[in-house]
Chain A
Amino acid sequence: MRAEILKQPTESLVGEKVKTKKKFNKWPYIFLLPSLILYGIFYVFPFFYSFVLSFMEWNLISPDKEYVGFDNYNSIWSDSVFWKSLLNTLIYVVATVPLSMMIGLSFALLVESVSGKMRETYRMLLFIPVIASIAVTSLVWQLLMNPEQGWINDVLNLFGLPQLNWLNDPNVALWAIVIIGIWKAVGYNMILYIAGLKGIDKQLYEAASIDGAGKWRQTISITIPMLSPINIFVFIVSVIQSFQVFTTIHLMTQGGPNNSTNMLVYQIYEEAFMFFDIGKASALSAILFIIVLIITIFQIRTMEKKVHYQ
């Protein structure tokens, strides 16, 4: 008897649940459709199609595509420009990522330590490079870095330092691109770190200050470890973004002088739209994809152990 009584309400509950589930609501999918179509056309399809193209020879215009197997990949291995641009890309990533993270964190700590209206002002000023058009700012940097009339050399001159031929000296040009890359990335990292700082429980600092920690000790022992979830996010996003550096090179150096600023994405662009070798460009894209994928997996694996969620 008792079992039956228990059973009844349970059944009716289940019945209701099933009923609501059965009723298929098409509207969410209809609203999603336009963006799904665009996403499919401009992201998913090209992504897979470029893998296919990497095994073809095609000049972008002719209707004929010829299957060439691994020819494109083989030509890349023996291409000195590829090795040069891969090395440049790695140097760029290794220089830009840690510096833009460190400076971003420092700015975040400094901005957060300012009180009142000035905090917002600093935050806004430091964020401008992120939203400013890279095309415009590249031109501004080009003027600043002009060997004869540029302000940067004027400043160096003021301090008695040697003047540099920023964008035309093969030994310097890559570093000029690195500086611009850091300048552009710092504001974004700063905003992420500020968000992270705001998420840290204030009582941890109070507990630490009572435990005997001064401001510096609190930063080392509380702030930095507590920012680890933000750190891993900033790190991965920065690495991916740095691998894809393109616009500054395209507008300022075109990979020169003497390929000293040529990097993977710019080389892909060159192969595809200057030399019309879509097959080789696609093969380069596939290689870039695999490099970034491996690095990201490695990052997540190694850093997960060091992340402390509150």
Chain B
Amino acid sequence: MRTTLRLAAVVTVSALAVTGCGFGGQGSSSSGDDAAQAGTTTLDLLVPSYSDATKANWEKVISGFQAQNKDVKVNLEVQSWDNINDVVRTKVQSNKAPDILNIDAFSGFAKDGLLYKATDVASPQTISDFQDSFKQNASIGSDMMAFPFIASTRALFYNKDLLEKAGVSAPPKTWDELLAAAKKVNALGGGVYGYGMPLGNEEAQAETSLWTFGNGGSWSDGDKITVTTPQNLEAVEYMQRMVQEKATQPNPGASDRTPMLNVFIQGKIAMAAGLPPILAQIKDKNPSLNLGTAPIPTKDGSPVTLGVADHLMAFQKDGSKKAAITKFVDYFFSKDVYSAWVAAEGFLPTTKSGAEQASSKPELKDFLTSLPTAKFYPSSNEAWSATQGALQSQIGQIAQGKSPKSVLDAVQAKADAAS
């Protein structure tokens, strides 16, 4: 009897100790503590951290805003990109959604009916200043549901010295040229590699998109997620060929983007797809790198690149903070405030007035000119988040020898399960 009791006690206690660890992370911020002050509205602003300076950049915006609007108080919460999706999910689940959120995809929140229409929480002038392609990318049907926040496009970064050493005179424009050039660099030996292909979890969907878009492929037919199209399959097969013919760094399937680009910055990889903030990193970490930028190579050389836009969105909740949100959005997207923010983080602006201001910077020229050819993720499709997750966690298997078709089929299955 005593043993049984003790047995039961040990089992229960240990088991409960196990589950006790699985719950947490909700609502640490206390919103509305100042709401008691007559007429003051508190806005919770949740943003991801783009760089070490993100928090300070936001604080500058907020103090400028609060100086002009004494009746609105903004609570800033900064989260890492690794965590922000979980944080938002937990907050939404426990009815503590932020008032304004900066994140990549907005459509899931919009489909769940959580968001204000963008046109309801910004003045017509603010809305009309956004570039049309971005506005469309932020809309579901004819309703604009989020504000295009910042943009980036990809370009081919190449190490002029390494290419020259390998006898490649000009940066490649087509896949075949890329394969040939990269193989020549790999043949140099001594720990240098031709093409950096990051298919690890971090951002494998971006690298894959560069290839599929470069073959005229797409992740969506406008309605459904389409992963297994012939164009996508051909592109992924070519990616596998790059790996099998030893044109890439070793183990591309497990290489994350950031460590791979660090190796590029160290001068050991000849070519890799890069984005605007990397320019600043190179200047900072290895200014002697002889860097060139060129359009992303595609199958037939016609220009196309991956554009990524992050969004700002406003949560409806009980609908009481509409006026304050509008004030904040209008303030943030006003020309000077917005341009300063975008320039500080090294991204591309999504507004017309911002683009004018940025065009004066020569290092951004390649990126700004590629904006018109940029193709975006189908992020207005609610199944895209799961598709992106599946691409991140599965596509690298092609580098371990799994057949491209079966990998794409598996990704498609995840997409179908989510829609």
Are the chains A and B members of one assembly? no
